[in-house]
Amino acid sequence: MIRDLKALLVDEVIDARGTSATEYVQQVEQSMKRVPRGGVLAILSTDPGASTALRSWAAARQYEYVGALEERCWRVSVKRGSKS
């Protein structure tokens, strides 16, 4: 896992603050199609369970869960695999 998530360069950011897990997971699913192989998608969420939900989602799709950072909201980062 990357140590400094604040310095992590991402390819795309989804602002999913105020949405339910079902809604932001659908947004993530669509957005990952646009992220290049090896690229990183960051998800902003107010859901305290976002990190757990997206960790499970990433593992099921063979993506790499990079980590989560809590500031004013959660920032969860997922990396698209080189083969996915």
pLDDT by 10-residue block (mean), the chain, 84 residues: 74 95 95 94 95 95 92 88 72
Q: How far apart are CA 21 and CA 28, in angstroms?
A: 10
pTM score, whole prediction:
0.86
Let me know: does 62 contact 34? Beta carbons within 8 Å.
Answer: no
Residue keyed to tokens 């790499």:
64
Delimit the domains of the chain by residue range.
Answer: 5-79
CATH number of the domain located at residue range(s) 5-79 in this protein = 3.30.110.40
Let me know: does 77 contact 11? Beta carbons within 8 Å.
Answer: no
